[in-house]
C-alpha cells in the first residue's frame, strides 16, 4: 500500500488524480486531501477514499467541512498553515495540484519529507525553481513532472547523456485564440478565454493557455527540469495536442510522446513510475486522427511568449515577478476588471518597474512574489480607474 496526499484535490488535476487512485483501492491509501474552500467536493472525496485528513486553506470553510465529515474517520483542519502542516506529514506519493504560487510552501513541505512529489503546479517551479530543486536534492525527494509537456520530455530525455540533446520541442495547442486577430483578442471575454479547444482545465491555466503565458511558464519550467540551455528549447504550435513534446538528438533522431489530451495519462505515468499502469482512456487512434499539424507561434499576438523568454534569460527574480504579476492580472481579467490584452501589458510593466536582487531563499522568493503582486494590483486599479 502506498500512502498518497493530494494538495488541491478538488481541482481539475486533483480530480483526475483521485479518479486513478480510486480505481485501485488495494494499492493506495489516502492520507491527506486539501482544497481551498470547495467543501462539498472535498468532503465527498474524503468519504469515498476514507482519507485520514481533509484540510481547507480558507479557514472560514472549516465549520462546514467539520459538519460535512462528522461521524467519519477523517480528521479536519483549516487555514494556510494547516495545509502546509498537512503537506509535511509523510506520504509516499504527493500530488501538488494547487493553482498558483499558493502551492509553493505546501510543495516545499512535501519535498522536505523526501518522498515522491509530483508537481502539476508549475508556478512554484517558475518562481522558486532553484530553491525547490535544491530542497529536493537535500531531502532526497523524487520530483516528477505531471505537466503533460514536461512529462513527455521526461519520458524521452536521456538524462545520462544530456549533451546529446540538440533541442527540446515544447508543443503548444495555441489555445482558443490561435487564429484570432489582434482586434478580436482585444474584446474576448473570460468565458471565451476559458473554453479551451482540447483540454478541460481550471480557469487560471485556461486563461494562461489563451494568452500563451502557459507556454511561457512551461518554457521556464522546462529549463528548470532539464539540463539544456534555454536557447535550445523551442516552442512549436501543434493544434491537435497529440504530440505532448519531443526531444531532438544530435544524430537526427527525434523522440516524442503521443497520447490522448487527458491529464490522467501523465498523472498515471507519475503514479506508476518507473512502472506503467493501465488507464481507462481509449488508445490513441492514429488513423482516425489522420493528420498532425505544426506551425511557428506568433510572438506579436502572444507577447507573453517574449516576456517569459526574456524573464528566463534575465534569471534572478524575473521569473517570480512574471508569475506573480500574471496571477494578479489573470484574476482581474476573470473578474471582468481588465481586458484580455491588458494581462500581458501589466506583466511587462511590473517587470520593467521592479528589479530586486536575485532571491536565494524561500523567504526571499515569497517577498519578491508579494511585492510584484502589490505592483500588479496597483496597475490593475489604474486600468480600472
Ligand atoms: P483548479 O483551479 O481546477 O484547481 C486548483 C486546486 O487548488 C483546487 O483544489 C483549489 O481548491 C485549490 N486551491 C486554489 N487556491 C488555493 C489556495 N490559495 N490555497 C490552497 N489551495 C488552493 O486548477 P487545475 O487546472 O487543477 O491546475 C492546478 C495546477 O496544475 C496549476 O498550477 C496548473 O497550472 C497545473 N496544471 C494543470 C493542468 C490541467 O489540465 N488542469 C495541466 C497541467 C498543469
Ligand atoms: Mg502543460
DSSP string, 300-364: TT-HHHHHHHHHHHH-TTHHHHHHHHHHHHHHHHHTTSS-HHHHHHHHHHHHHH--PPPP-SHHH
Q: Which residues contact 290 (CB under 8 A, 6 or more apart)?
A: none
* Ligand lying closest to the C-alpha of residue 173: 2
CB atoms within 10 A of CB 64: 17
For ligand 1, whether the C-beta of 267 sits within 6 Å is no
Q: From atom 25 of ligand 1, which residue's Cα is the shortest distance away?
A: 202
| ipTM for the whole predicted complex goes beyond 0.90 | yes
For ligand 1, whether the C-beta of 102 sits within 6 Å is yes
DSSP 72: S
Which pLDDT score, from 0 to 100, does residue 354 have? 98
For ligand 1, whether the C-beta of 327 sits within 6 Å is no
Which pLDDT score, from 0 to 100, does residue 199 have? 85
The rounded distance, in Å, linking the Cα atoms of 34 and 288 is 39
Do 4 and 87 form a contact (C-beta atoms < 8 A)?
no
* CA-wise closest residue to 303 among 352, 342, 353: 342
What are the pLDDT digits (tens) for 216-243?
999 999 999 999 999 999 999 999 999 9
Q: From atom 43 of ligand 1, which residue's Cα is the shortest distance away?
A: 147
pTM: 0.98
* Ligand lying closest to the C-alpha of residue 172: 2
Query: Which pLDDT band, with edges at 50, 70 and 90, does 200 fall under?
Result: confident
For ligand 1, whether the C-beta of 172 sits within 6 Å is no
148 CA distance to ligand 2 middle (Å): 5
The rounded distance, in Å, linking the Cα atoms of 45 and 157 is 35
Query: Which pLDDT band, with edges at 50, 70 and 90, does 47 fall under?
Result: very high
Which pLDDT score, from 0 to 100, does residue 363 have? 98
Q: Is 169 helix (H, G, I), strand (E, B) or coil?
A: strand
Question: Measured on CA atoms in the order 197, 201, 207, 208, is the torsion positive or negative?
Answer: negative
For ligand 1, whether the C-beta of 38 sits within 6 Å is yes
For 233-242, b/e burial (b = at least 16 CB within 10 A) is: bebebbbbbb
For ligand 1, whether the C-beta of 266 sits within 6 Å is no
What are the pLDDT digits (tens) for 312-343?
999 999 999 999 999 999 999 999 999 999 99
What are the pLDDT digits (tens) for 169-191?
999 999 999 999 999 999 999 99
29 CA distance to ligand 1 middle (Å): 22
What is the share, in percent, of the chain residues with pLDDT greater than 70?
A: 100
Do 332 and 209 form a contact (C-beta atoms < 8 A)?
no
Q: From atom 15 of ligand 1, which residue's Cα is the shortest distance away?
A: 36
The arithmetic mean of pLDDT across residues 237-251, rounded, is 98
* Ligand lying closest to the C-alpha of residue 149: 2
For ligand 1, whether the C-beta of 127 sits within 6 Å is no
* Ligand lying closest to the C-alpha of residue 8: 1
Q: Helices 203-211 and 318-334, interaxial angle, to 10°?
A: 110
Query: Which pLDDT band, with edges at 50, 70 and 90, does 297 fall under?
Result: very high
The position carrying cell 511585492 is: 371
Please enumerate, as own/partner, the contacts of 37-40 that have beta carbons within 8 Å and a separation of 24 or more. Answer: 37/61, 38/10, 39/64, 39/65, 39/68, 40/68
For 253-276, b/e burial (b = at least 16 CB within 10 A) is: eebbbebbbbbbbbbbbbbebeee
The rounded distance, in Å, linking the Cα atoms of 330 and 338 is 9
268 CA distance to ligand 1 middle (Å): 18
* Ligand lying closest to the C-alpha of residue 38: 1
Which atom belonging to ligand 1 lies closest to the Cα atom of 214? Answer: 34
Please tell me the chain's helix, strand, coil percentages from 3-state DSSP, rounded to the nearest 5.
Answer: 50, 15, 35
For ligand 1, whether the C-beta of 95 sits within 6 Å is no
What are the pLDDT digits (tens) for 11-35?
999 999 999 999 999 999 999 999 9
For ligand 1, whether the C-beta of 119 sits within 6 Å is no
Q: From atom 16 of ligand 1, which residue's Cα is the shortest distance away?
A: 36
What is the share, in percent, of the chain residues with pLDDT greater than 90?
A: 98
- Structural domains of the chain ordered from first start: 2-146 (3.40.50.720)
12 CA distance to ligand 1 middle (Å): 7
Amino acid at each position: 500500500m502506498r500512502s498518497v496526499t493530494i494538495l488541491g484535490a478538488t481541482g481539475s488535476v486533483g480530480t483526475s488524480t483521485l479518479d486513478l487512485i480510486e480505481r485501485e483501492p488495494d494499492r493506495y491509501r489516502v492520507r491527506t486531501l486539501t482544497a481551498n474552500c470547495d467543501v462539498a467536493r472535498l468532503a465527498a472525496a474524503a468519504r469515498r477514499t476514507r482519507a485520514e485528513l481533509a484540510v481547507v486553506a480558507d479557514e472560514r470553510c472549516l465549520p462546514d467541512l467539520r459538519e460535512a465529515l462528522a461521524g467519519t474517520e477523517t480528521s479536519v483542519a483549516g487555514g494556510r498553515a494547516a495545509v502546509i502542516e498537512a503537506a509535511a506529514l509523510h506520504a509516499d506519493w504527493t500530488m501538488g495540484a494547487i493553482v498558483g504560487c499558493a502551492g509553493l510552501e505546501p510543495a516545499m513541505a512535501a519535498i522536505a519529507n523526501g518522498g515522491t512529489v509530483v508537481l502539476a503546479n508549475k508556478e512554484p517551479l517558475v518562481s522558486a525553481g532553484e530553491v525547490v530543486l535544491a530542497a529536493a536534492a537535500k531531502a532526497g525527494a523524487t520530483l516528477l513532472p505531471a505537466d503533460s509537456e514536461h512529462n513527455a520530455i521526461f519520458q524521452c530525455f536521456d538524462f545520462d547523456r544530456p549533451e546529446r540533446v540538440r533541442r527540446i520541442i515544447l508543443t503548444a495547442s495555441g489555445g482558443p485564440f490561435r487564429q484570432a486577430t489582434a482586434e478580436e483578442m482585444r474584446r474576448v471575454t473570460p468565458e471565451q478565454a476559458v473554453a479551451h479547444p482540447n483540454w478541460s482545465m481550471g480557469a487560471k491555466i485556461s486563461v494562461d493557455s489563451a494568452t500563451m503565458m502557459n507556454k511561457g511558464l512551461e518554457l521556464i519550467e522546462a529549463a528548470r527540469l532539464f539540463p539544456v540551455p534555454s536557447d535550445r528549447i523551442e516552442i512549436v504550435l501543434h493544434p491537435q495536442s497529440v504530440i505532448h513534446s519531443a526531444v531532438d538528438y544530435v544524430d537526427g533522431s527525434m523522440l516524442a510522446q503521443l497520447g490522448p489530451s487527458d491529464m490522467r495519462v501523465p498523472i498515471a505515468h507519475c503514479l506508476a513510475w518507473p512502472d506503467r499502469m493501465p488507464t481507462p482512456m481509449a488508445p490513441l487512434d492514429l488513423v482516425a486522427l489522420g493528420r498532425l499539424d505544426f506551425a511557428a507561434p506568433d510572438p506579436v499576438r502572444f507577447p507573453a511568449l517574449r516576456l517569459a523568454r526574456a524573464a528566463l534569460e534575465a534569471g534572478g527574480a524575473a521569473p517570480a515577478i512574471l508569475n506573480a504579476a500574471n496571477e494578479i492580472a489573470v484574476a482581474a481579467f476573470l473578474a471582468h476588471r481588465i481586458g484580455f490584452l491588458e494581462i500581458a501589458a501589466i506583466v511587462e510593466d511590473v517587470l520593467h518597474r521592479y528589479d530586486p536582487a536575485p532571491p536565494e531563499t524561500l523567504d526571499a522568493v515569497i517577498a519578491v512574489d508579494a511585492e510584484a503582486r502589490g505592483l500588479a494590483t496597483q496597475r490593475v486599479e489604474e486600468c480600472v480607474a
